[in-house]
Structure 1
Amino acid sequence: MRTIVVTGGTDGMGAALARHFLKAGDRVVVIGRSRAKFDALLAAAADGDPSATARAEFAAADLSSAADSRRLVKHLRTHYEHVDALVLAASFIRQRRHVTSEGHEASWVLFFVSKYLLVTGLAGLLRAAGRPVVVNTAVPGARADAIDFGDLELTRGYTFAKSNAQQRRANELLGVLATRGVPGLAYVTWGPARLVRSGFAGDLGKGMKTAAAVLGPLVGQRPDDAVRPIIGFVDAPSPGRSAYRGARKLPLTVGTDDERDAARLAEAVENDFPDG
């Protein structure tokens, strides 16, 4: 039986994936913050298939906390022998810079540091799977020079656009580290082809809230439709790094020194977020 781990698995695309893989007969670990939302998801997935309850686990975690991310890794390593697919779909959009109780910029931790900790921390479980895959819902295509290595948490001149581009590029480089650590791993940097109808969880400005409320129902995809390409990546993984928007494959962004930049990111996380 495959083990599928989905962060952000109680809402939107994450919940759609969790329902699909439970109905497909897989073991699914749903990572989120709301037990009530998980219970509702499980009730829908278990309709007509009581075995889904035994194959689902809810793991509560706030992935804007490095400590919570590390605790989650330890839990998964203790309770599971392999992870066949890790889908990184957690999202909480902040338009303004926010510092967590751990003293770090929240979006940087949620959208990159937690993913780094999960991908590297679960490398052994991914290696133990027959055809492992990581799908990272960080929209590909950021500039190769989007990362400010001198100020990763953007203490100076923070903008939403700069933060977003930096996280996206960092997650593309995470694929360099991931595929080196797990030979045969399929690492997919993915973004939806167009707007997805969802709750748009986050600390949003009035303009973004209004745009989401108006455009979502008009042009947005249903989460169940948006995630079909991800299901394909999990069911038929292709080893190596790749990038997609929806089902359309994109060229990987290649910088002048990607290996060194990936190593710099790893060093920064290990230095800035020491274990314990």
Structure 2
Amino acid sequence: MKTIVITGGTDGMGAALARHYLTAGDRVTVIGRSRRKFDALVAAAASEDPSAVARAEFIAADLSLVADSRRVVNQLLAHHKRIDALVLAASFIRQHRQTTAEGHEASWALFFLSKYLLVTGLAPLLRAVEQPVIVNTAVPGTRADAVDFEDLEMVQGFTFMRSNAQQRRANELLGILATDDNPNLAYLTWGPAWLVRSSFAGEVGKGMRITAAVLGRLLGQRPEAAIRPIIRLIDDPSPGRAAYRGATQHTLTVGDRDEKDATRLAAAIEESLR
């Protein structure tokens, strides 16, 4: 029996993964904001395997809050001996700069700070298994210089495109830190090959929401289909870093200063979280 931890596990691909592994007989911890949605997915899994109820765990958290991310890490460390797979799939789209109650830029806090805290904080549980895997749903492939080290939270010049590129590159650098710490770890930055039908959570314009809903219905993949490549990667991991769009492996972005940038990023984050 594997232990699978999934952030954003009550919607879309995260929920589909949770249901898959519950029906496969594994232990699944879902981190999310909606207990109602979690109960619905567990009920669906239990209709196929009644034992799913005993193997499902829910941790309520808003991962845009550092305090919640830290609480999740502490709860998992206290109640788990191992984690076979950590899936980082929490998402909430913001087109404009917003700050959390803690003073952090909200998108940076959700899409990177929470992932940094989970990856580094849960490292002991991932080291407890022979073939651990992290699937980070940060679409691979952005500029090597996309991280603005002088203004990580983009107080100046925030745009959705800049913010998105920085998050994606930072998550690639996080993979360097994670695999340096644990050479047995498979760290995968992964994005779907095409649009996925989901609730499209976020603060976006009406036009974008309507367009996504229409295209999703007409052309989008069902979450159950979109996650098939993730399942294969979790079930048969290879140590090291890799990048995928769907089932297709992509070349990792390589810069002249990757190791130094990863170390610099970690130092900057530790300083910002003091």
TM-score by length of 2: 0.99
Q: Secondary structure at the match of 1:163?
A: helix
Q: Secondary structure at the match of 1:242?
A: strand
Shift of 1:268: 1.2
Letter in 2 for 1:150: E
Q: Which residue of structure 1 lines up, in the alignment, with residue 40 of structure 2?
A: 40
Q: Which residue of structure 2 lines up, in the alignment, with residue 241 of structure 1?
A: 241
Distance, in Å, in 1 between the alignment partners of 2:182 and 2:72 is 20
Letter in 1 for 2:140: P
Distance, in Å, in 2 between the alignment partners of 1:94 and 1:226 is 23
Moved over 3 A (4+): none
Shift of 1:209: 1.1
Measured against aligned partners, the alpha-carbon deviations of 1:38-90 in whole angstroms (never above 9, x if no partner) come to 00000000103211001000011100001100010000000000000000000
Contact residue 23 and residue 48 of structure 2 kept, 8 A: no
Distance, in Å, in 1 between the alignment partners of 2:4 and 2:15 is 12
Contact residue 29 and residue 56 of structure 1 kept, 8 A: yes
Q: Which residue of structure 1 lines up, in the alignment, with residue 130 of structure 2?
A: 130
Contact residue 130 and residue 184 of structure 2 kept, 8 A: no
Measured against aligned partners, the alpha-carbon deviations of 1:103-136 in whole angstroms (never above 9, x if no partner) come to 0100001000100000000000000012100000
Q: Which residue of structure 1 lines up, in the alignment, with residue 193 of structure 2?
A: 193
Contact residue 32 and residue 59 of structure 2 kept, 8 A: yes
Measured against aligned partners, the alpha-carbon deviations of 1:202-224 in whole angstroms (never above 9, x if no partner) come to 00112311221221111110000
Distance, in Å, in 1 between the alignment partners of 2:23 and 2:269 is 37
Letter in 2 for 1:89: A
Shift of 1:247: 0.3
Shift of 1:180: 1.0
Q: Secondary structure at the match of 2:86?
A: strand
Alignment of 1:1-276 (within 5 A): 1-274=1-274
Q: Secondary structure at the match of 1:224?
A: helix
Q: Secondary structure at the match of 1:135?
A: strand
Letter in 2 for 1:5: V
Letter in 2 for 1:253: T
Contact residue 139 and residue 191 of structure 1 kept, 8 A: yes
Shift of 1:265: 1.1
Q: Secondary structure at the match of 1:4?
A: strand
Contact residue 127 and residue 183 of structure 1 kept, 8 A: no
Contact residue 146 and residue 166 of structure 1 kept, 8 A: yes
Distance, in Å, in 2 between the alignment partners of 1:268 and 1:208 is 34
Distance, in Å, in 2 between the alignment partners of 1:152 and 1:252 is 22
Q: Secondary structure at the match of 1:173?
A: helix
Letter in 2 for 1:180: D
Q: Percent identity?
A: 71
Measured against aligned partners, the alpha-carbon deviations of 1:159-184 in whole angstroms (never above 9, x if no partner) come to 00000000000001100000011221
Letter in 2 for 1:63: L
- Structure 1 residues without counterparts, runs of 5 or longer: none
Q: CA RMSD in A?
A: 0.7
Distance, in Å, in 1 between the alignment partners of 2:211 and 2:273 is 36
Distance, in Å, in 1 between the alignment partners of 2:155 and 2:267 is 19
Measured against aligned partners, the alpha-carbon deviations of 1:131-150 in whole angstroms (never above 9, x if no partner) come to 10000000000110111110
Contact residue 7 and residue 31 of structure 2 kept, 8 A: yes
Q: Secondary structure at the match of 1:198?
A: coil
Contact residue 13 and residue 224 of structure 1 kept, 8 A: yes
Distance, in Å, in 2 between the alignment partners of 1:36 and 1:53 is 14
Distance, in Å, in 2 between the alignment partners of 1:178 and 1:190 is 16
Distance, in Å, in 1 between the alignment partners of 2:11 and 2:93 is 14
Q: Secondary structure at the match of 2:68?
A: helix
- Structure 2 residues without counterparts, runs of 5 or longer: none
Q: Secondary structure at the match of 1:53?
A: helix
Shift of 1:95: 0.5
TM-score by length of 1: 0.98
Distance, in Å, in 2 between the alignment partners of 1:153 and 1:257 is 21
Letter in 2 for 1:169: R
